[in-house]
Homo-oligomer: A and B are copies of this chain.
Amino acid sequence: MAQVFEATCSAPVNIAVVKYWGKRDTSLILPTNSSLSVTLSQDQLHSKTTIRASESFTEDQLWLNGKQESISSNKRLVACLRETRALRANIESKDESLPKLAHLKIHICSENNFPTAAGLASSASGYACLVFTLATLFDLRLNASELSIIARQGSGSACRSLFGGFVAWEMGQNDDGSDSKAVQIAPETHWPELEAMICVVSDAKKGTSSTEGMQLTVKTSPLLQHRIKEVVPRRMEDMIQAIKDRNFPRFADLTMQDSNQFHAVCLDTYPPIFYMNDISRAIIRIITEYNKSGVKAAYTYDAGPNAVIYAPRENMPEIYALLSHYFPGAAFADSLGMLKEQKKDWTPADIQGFDTGISPIFSEASVKQILHTKAHDGPRVLGTEHSLLNAEGLPKRLA
C-alpha cells in the first residue's frame, strides 16, 4: 500500500491598520513600506487547507473552494511549493530516517468559510494556510517569521496571517527578501477587548485588482513617494506604541488616518483607482460623527468598499445599533453574543450630541451583512477529522 502523509490546518484573515500598497520587487513581493495588521478570529473567518502527499499521486493537484485550479499557471503558488519542498529535501538529506516527502506529488484542497462574493480578501488567509500546512506536512520546524517569508511570496499580506494578535510586516532592505518578514508586536491576549465589525457593502462595479492597482500607484502617484518615505515610518512607530499602550483613541486615529491616506494615494493614481463608494463614505460619516465626543471606533477600508470597524467591546452594542439604524437591511450574525447587551428602542439621538442628519437611511441592503469578530490567534493545526480529502485523495466537497 502506498504511504500517505497529510496535514490539515486553518489560518486567519488579517486587516491592516497601516496599509501595504506598492511593491519594490513584484516577483519576490517586497513592499515599498512596512505595514501592520490585526489578525481576526478564525472562529468567524478562516481558510482551511488539507495537503496530502502520496506515492500514488501522479501529479500535483489543487482544489479551491471545491473547484479544480491549475497549479503550474500560478507562479506564486509554484514559488511556495518550490521553497517548502527544497527545505524538506534539505532536511531529508541530513537525516536518513525521515520519510521521503519532498519528491512526492501532492493534492491540495482549500476552502474559505466566507463567500468570495463578500469581497473579503481571501488571498492572505489562503496563502498563510497553504504555507503553514506545507510546513506542518513537511515538518519544517520553522518559526512563524521564517514561514512568513515564504507566504509573502504567495501574497504579500499573507505573511501577516502567520501570527495572531498584532502583526508588523517589516519591509526589509535586502534584495533577496530575506529580511522582509512578519513579526508579532503583541499577542491577542495583550488587548482582549479589541473587537471588529465587518460591514459587507454592495457594489455595482468590480474594483481594480490590488496587484495591478498598487503598481499603477507606484508608477504614477507623486504622493505615494511621500507616504512611503515620510509618513509610514513614523506612523509604524506610533502605531506600535499605541498597541503596546492599549491606547484606543490613538490606535483609532492612526488607523483611520492610514486608511484615508491609502485611498488618497489610490485617487492620486493616474487614472485614479476608487475602492470606496457612497456607502463606504456614509459609514465614515457615521463613525466620524460617533467619535465627535471622544474616539470610540475606527474604520478602515482595504481594496474594496467593505468597512472594518475596530472598537473596544463595550462600544460594540452602540456601534451595531448605529449601523442597523442607517442600514436596516443588513443581516447580522450575532457570533460573539452581543445582541443580549443591546438596548431596546435605541436611536442615534440617544448618543449625546449625535447629529442624526448626517446621512440618509439606506433602506435597501446597501450593507448586505455585518460580521462581528475580534483579534485572535494565528494558524492552527487541525485533527484528521477535519481533512478535506477523501480516501482517494479527492475533495469531499466539490462545487
A interface, CB within 8 angstroms of B: 204-205, 222-223, 225-227, 230-231, 253, 256-257, 260-261, 263-265, 267-272, 274, 277-278, 281, 284-285, 288, 358-360
The residue of chain B having its C-beta at the shortest distance from the C-beta of A227 within the complex is B223
Establish whether residues A223 and B264, one from each chain, have CB atoms under 8 Å apart when the complex forms.
Answer: yes
A359: chain B residues within 8 A (beta carbon) = 205
> A223-B223, A226-B222 are known contacts. Are A268 and B277 too (CB-CB below 8 A)?
no
Given contacts A223-B265, A225-B226, A261-B267, 13 further A-B contacts (CB under 8 A): A204-B360, A205-B359, A223-B231, A226-B226, A226-B230, A253-B270, A256-B271, A260-B268, A263-B267, A264-B265, A264-B268, A271-B288, A277-B281
Main secondary structure of the interface of A (DSSP, over half): helix
Find the residue from A227, A265, A268 having the highest chain B CB count within 10 A. A268
Nearest CB in chain B: distance from A307 CB, A = 13
The residue of chain B having its C-beta at the shortest distance from the C-beta of A220 within the complex is B257
Neighbour of A270 across the interface among B204, B230, B256, B360, CB < 8 A: B256
> A222-B230, A223-B227, A359-B205 are known contacts. Are A257 and B270 too (CB-CB below 8 A)?
yes
A260: chain B residues within 8 A (beta carbon) = 267-270, 272
User: In the complex, what distance in Å separates the CA atom of A275 from the CA atom of B284?
Assistant: 14
User: In the complex, what distance in Å separates the CA atom of A358 from the CA atom of B257?
Assistant: 30
User: In the complex, what distance in Å separates the CA atom of A260 from the CA atom of B360?
Assistant: 26
> A226-B226, A261-B223, A359-B205 are known contacts. Are A267 and B270 too (CB-CB below 8 A)?
no
- A sample of 23 inter-chain contacts (CB < 8 A) reads A204-B360, A205-B285, A205-B359, A222-B231, A223-B223, A223-B261, A223-B264, A223-B265, A223-B268, A260-B267, A260-B268, A260-B269, A261-B267, A261-B268, A263-B267, A264-B265, A264-B268, A267-B267, A271-B284, A272-B284, A274-B284, A277-B281, A278-B278
User: In the complex, what distance in Å separates the CA atom of A288 from the CA atom of B264?
Assistant: 18
Nearest CB in chain B: distance from A298 CB, A = 12
A256: chain B residues within 8 A (beta carbon) = 270-271
User: In the complex, what distance in Å separates the CA atom of A281 from the CA atom of B271?
Assistant: 11
A226: chain B residues within 8 A (beta carbon) = 222-223, 225-226, 230
Nearest CB in chain B: distance from A250 CB, A = 13
A277: chain B residues within 8 A (beta carbon) = 278, 281
Q: A-B pairs with the 6 shortest C-beta distances?
A: A226-B226, A264-B268, A264-B264, A264-B267, A271-B288, A278-B278
A360: chain B residues within 8 A (beta carbon) = 204
The residue of chain B having its C-beta at the shortest distance from the C-beta of A357 within the complex is B205
A278: chain B residues within 8 A (beta carbon) = 277-278
Establish whether residues B261 and A222, one from each chain, have CB atoms under 8 Å apart when the complex forms.
Answer: yes
The residue of chain B having its C-beta at the shortest distance from the C-beta of A265 within the complex is B264
Nearest CB in chain B: distance from A255 CB, A = 11
A231: chain B residues within 8 A (beta carbon) = 222-223
The residue of chain B having its C-beta at the shortest distance from the C-beta of A235 within the complex is B222
Neighbour of A274 across the interface among B205, B227, B281, CB < 8 A: B281
Nearest CB in chain B: distance from A121 CB, A = 21
Find the residue from A264, A284, A285, A360 having the highest chain B CB count within 10 A. A264
The residue of chain B having its C-beta at the shortest distance from the C-beta of A289 within the complex is B271
The residue of chain B having its C-beta at the shortest distance from the C-beta of A229 within the complex is B226
Nearest CB in chain B: distance from A145 CB, A = 30
Nearest CB in chain B: distance from A115 CB, A = 23
User: In the complex, what distance in Å separates the CA atom of A360 from the CA atom of B230?
Assistant: 39
Nearest CB in chain B: distance from A249 CB, A = 13
User: In the complex, what distance in Å separates the CA atom of A223 from the CA atom of B267?
Assistant: 12
User: In the complex, what distance in Å separates the CA atom of A264 from the CA atom of B358?
Assistant: 22
A264: chain B residues within 8 A (beta carbon) = 223, 264-265, 267-268
Nearest CB in chain B: distance from A274 CB, A = 5
User: In the complex, what distance in Å separates the CA atom of A350 from the CA atom of B93?
Assistant: 65
